[in-house]
Amino acid sequence: MTKIIGLTGGIGSGKSTVAKYIASKGIPVYIADEEAKKIMTQEVVIREIQQLFKENIILESGQLDRKKIASIVFQHPDLLKQLNAIVHPKVKQHFEAWLLKNKTAPFIIKEVAILFETKGNEACDKVILITAPEDVKIERVMKRDNVSREEVVKRMKNQLSDVEKAKKSDFIVTNVKIDDTFLEIDEILNFLKIS
């Protein structure tokens, strides 16, 4: 039976970098956010999402205006819940099909930003949490997304704190220096291979 190892971390923690590193080792990695983005390009899903919003959130290209959606849902948690209720079941279905294709692997990594918020951790055998000091995370996101400090803090408020996530995690990796992080990840992967 393939073990499911959850990989999570708040915005700016560096979990995507860690996920890519793990994938480079030949371990199957499922990146839920990427799959959600693909699902949100399907015409039927676009129409379903547009019905949630009073204003138009579809670009001239016919695709969703993701920046506009983000700015709206991060101010209206109820809308965010409704959006997740459309997208998450479709991602779950896609993951289950992907898992079948990788059933010969001793374990897979499922990278999900809001693993605990969606109770996704309950379907995981172990959970790896990637953290970083708040200032480091804020700086990373401001640089990556070209957004203000206030915007990053607003997004962070929609996620569980690292303290809460740590209580439910099996492995906690503080990602400040990436080389140190990779060494810690190697140790965890070796442990998972023999356990």
13 is in an annotated binding site: yes
Q: Which contiguous run of DSSP H or E holds residue 27? A: none
12 is in an annotated binding site: yes
25 is in an annotated binding site: no
Which residues, in sequence order, are CB contacts of 151 under 8 Å at separation 6+?
A: 145
Q: DSSP letters along 40-53, please?
A: TTSHHHHHHHHTT-
14 is in an annotated binding site: yes
17 is in an annotated binding site: yes
Burial class, 104, CB count within 10 angstroms (exposed 0-12 / middle 13-18 / buried 19+): exposed
When computed from its CA atoms, the radius of gyration of the chain, rounded to whole angstroms, is 17
Amino acid residing at 100: L
Show binding-site residues for ATP.
Answer: 12-17
Show binding-site residues.
Answer: 12-17
